[in-house]
A and B are shown apart, each in its own frame.
Chain A
Amino acid sequence: NAGVTQTPKFQVLKTGQSMTLQCAQDMNHEYMSWYRQDPGMGLRLIHYSVGAGITDQGEVPNGYNVSRSTTEDFPLRLLSAAPSQTSVYFCASGDRINQPQHFGDGTRLSIL
């Protein structure tokens, strides 16, 4: 009964480092998305995918890359970490955009 699995749960990076946040879902959902959550700003969409091989930008895509080679996985890459990217990152999946989105437990990322 895994649902949406995000790894790691916590990460500390130095400015300029790169890393990949992993997201996997076992519900055969076509739609997957990445959000960041900052105090007082709610959830902001970074990138999303409507199926394997198809990705698009959300509200705050700069500094992040995504790919969707399989239905199950949707990794988020930070190319060169900056302190402004300190946040909690959530991955979500759903059958379609207008269907309920299921969230992972988040990755708490700090960039020094």
Chain B
Amino acid sequence: GQQLNQSPQSMFIQEGEDVSMNCTSSSIFNTWLWYKQDPGEGPVLLIALYKAGELTSNGRLTAQFGITRKDSFLNISASIPSDVGIYFCAGRIYAGNNRKLIWGLGTSLAVNP
């Protein structure tokens, strides 16, 4: 099936550092969604992107819809301990009546205080 390549798989950083992660595909997307999942909970939406080149911020988080429409990036600035969790990208492929989201496998983030 179609795949999203999310990287890195895991990160261990010091508090205060910036974080970058990305998702790439060979397919063209018309929607990118970034989620965070805390242990024992469901994913929570962080940022939604709908146009190529779009750059959207949510506090210390910034995400971009790649200009080729095949990738997206999430940056976290000045990380804090509560940023710990798993970050997922999800996207909808631009293809007619496509009704499904495709998900990356997640980036596990650990922050050392």
Contacts and interface: CB of A to CB of B under 8 A. Distances in A.
16 contacts: A42-B105, A44-B103, A58-B100, A59-B1, A97-B98, A98-B31, A99-B48, A100-B33, A100-B45, A100-B48, A101-B45, A101-B101, A103-B42, A105-B40, A105-B41, A106-B41
Interface string A101-112: 111111000000
A90 B99 contact: no
Contact of B104 (A42, A48, A59): A42
Contact of A101 (B30, B33, B41, B106): B33
Interface in B1-50: 1, 30-31, 33, 40-45, 48, 50
Contacts of A59: 1, 100
A105 B99 contact: no
A104 B42 contact: yes
Contacts of B43: 43, 90, 103
A56 B103 contact: no
Contact of B44 (A50, A99, A103): A103
B101 A97 contact: yes
A40 interface: yes
A45 B103 CA distance: 9
A45 B48 contact: no
A57 to B, nearest CB: 10
Interface string A44-71: 1100101000001011000000000000
B88 interface: yes
A35 B90 CA distance: 13
Nearest to B6: A42
A33 B101 CA distance: 10
A2 interface: no
B50 A98 contact: yes
A12 interface: no
Nearest to A44: B103
A41 B105 contact: yes
Interface string A72-112: 00000000000000000010100001111111111000000
A85 B95 CA distance: 31
